[in-house]
Amino acid sequence: MSTRVNTPTTQFFKTLAKFATENASTSKELKAKKAAKEKRTKEYAKEYAKKQATEQKEIAKLAKIAEKEKIKTDKLAAKQAKKAEKEAANASQEGREGG
């Protein structure tokens, strides 16, 4: 068995290593990227919190409106029930008087 030396492959890796060293980021660049990312994250969190607060206010407002509507509906239902009760009482009195 003979051993082969694959020179194109080794040349390829050497070229690849050269590109890697040329394109490597410096620690200053990495710190700047990290700082920018943290800043974006904080801004997003702040914006998200603001949005959540707005939504909570809107939900509270809608809940208040729904409560008012429920009270109106309950009053109307009680009024109609009282009216129906009164009509039923009148009908039963008329039935007694007519019979």
57 inside domain = yes
94 inside domain = yes
Torsion, CA 84, CA 89, CA 87, CA 82, rounded to 10: -30
Which one is predicted more confidently, 74 or 22? Answer: 74
47 inside domain = yes
Q: What is the pLDDT of residues 34-78, one digit of tens each?
A: 999 999 999 999 999 999 999 999 999 999 999 999 999 999 999
83 inside domain = yes
22 inside domain = no
Q: For the purposes of burial, counting CB atoms within 10 Å of the CB of 56, is it exposed (0-12), middle (13-18) or buried (19 or more)? A: exposed
Q: Tell me, rounded to whole angstroms, the distance of Cα 54 from its chain centroid.
A: 12
- Number of residues that make up the chain: 99
- Reported confidence tier of residue 95, pLDDT bands at 50, 70, 90: low
Name which of 79, 72, 75 is nearest 87 in CA terms.
Answer: 79
> Structurally, how many domains does the chain consist of?
1
Beta-carbon count within 10 A of 20 CB:
9
The whole domain housing 93 covers: 28-98
